[in-house]
Structure 1
Amino acid sequence: MQLEYWLGLGSIAFFVLFVLVVSSLYFFMFDDPNTSDLPINPDNFANPKLLQFISITIAPGGILAAVAFILSKYYGSKKIGMMLLVDGIILLVGMAFCQTLVEKINDSYMTDTVLLVPPLFMVLSAPVMYFGIRLMKVRKARPKKEYF
């Protein structure tokens, strides 16, 4: 397999990982921090964790998806375009699911970051899907026939 395929598969893995860690964090924030056995300060918990998850998962996944697109944009590839489309769909569906979890989060954990992460990444999934569709529509150049 070419490098682009491996980069596309890596980006899918990072996008899935991002959706899983954000949804698990939102599930964790359902409980009241005062009744928990763990000593958690809610003011210093949600924002740093979300920013950490963004920098560890979705940033490298986005970079891998962009490099896979750049490497294959001239000759086009339906497989890589499909991988980018899957990236966007995973991000859109996962963040829509996380958006449904926001209303169940305990009020002590509610910050602007918790409220903004799902809609922001739902919007950012659209360009990923666009570039995937664009990559699938690129046709390979036909070789010129030399008559003389």
Structure 2
Amino acid sequence: MQLEYWLGLGSIAFFVLFVLVVSSLYIFMFDDPNTSDLPIDPDNFANPKLLQFISITIAPGGILAAVAFILSKYYGSKKIGALLIIDGLVLLGGMAFCQTLIDDIAEPYITDTVLILPPLFMGLSIPIFFFGIRLMKVRKPRPKKEYF
């Protein structure tokens, strides 16, 4: 298999991991920190964790998706385009799910980062769709005929 295919599969894995860790963090924040057994400072909990999850999961996944696109943009590939579209679907669906969880989060955990993260990444899934569709529409160049 080609390198681009494996990079596309790796980007899907990172995108799924990002959706899973962000949704699990949002579900963890349902409990009020004042009644919890764990000593958690809500002011210094959500923002650093979300930034850590972004740097560990979605940044490498985006880089892998971009490299897969760059490697296959000249000859086009329906497989790689489909993988990029799956990346966009995973990100859009997962962040839509996280957006529904915001209403249940305890009040001390609500910060600007918690509120803006799902819509931001839902918006970032649109360029991923665009590049996936663009990659699927690229036609392979015909070989030039040598007449002489």
TM-score by structure 2 length?
0.99
Q: Give the corresponding residue for 1:25.
A: 25
Q: Give the corresponding residue for 1:105.
A: 105
Looking at structure 2, the residues matched to 91 and 44 of structure 1 have their Cα atoms a distance apart, in angstroms, of 26
Matched, 1:115 2:134: no
Looking at structure 1, the residues matched to 93 and 4 of structure 2 have their Cα atoms a distance apart, in angstroms, of 24
Q: Amino acid of the residue matched to residue 147 of structure 2?
A: Y
Counting matched residue pairs gives 148
Structure 1's unaligned 5+ residue stretches are: none
User: 1:145 Cα deviation (Å)?
Assistant: 1.8
Runs of 4+ deviating beyond 2 Å: none
Q: What SS is found at the alignment partner of 2:6? A: helix
CA deviations over 1:68-106 (Å, ceiling 9, x no partner) = 000000000000000000000100000000000001100
User: What is the CA RMSD across the aligned residues, in angstroms?
Assistant: 0.6
Q: Give the corresponding residue for 1:59.
A: 59
Q: Once the two structures are aligned, what percentage of the paired residues are identical?
A: 84
User: 1:33 Cα deviation (Å)?
Assistant: 0.5
Q: Give the corresponding residue for 1:96.
A: 96
User: 1:147 Cα deviation (Å)?
Assistant: 2.8
The 5-angstrom pairing of residues 126-141 of structure 1 reads 126-141=126-141
User: 1:2 Cα deviation (Å)?
Assistant: 1.1
Structure 2's unaligned 5+ residue stretches are: none
Q: Give the corresponding residue for 2:3.
A: 3
Q: Give the corresponding residue for 2:41.
A: 41
Looking at structure 1, the residues matched to 98 and 110 of structure 2 have their Cα atoms a distance apart, in angstroms, of 14
Q: What SS is found at the alignment partner of 2:104? A: coil
Looking at structure 1, the residues matched to 69 and 146 of structure 2 have their Cα atoms a distance apart, in angstroms, of 32
Q: Give the corresponding residue for 2:145.
A: 145
User: 1:146 Cα deviation (Å)?
Assistant: 2.2
CA deviations over 1:87-139 (Å, ceiling 9, x no partner) = 00100000000000001100000000000000000000000010000000000
TM-score by structure 1 length?
0.99
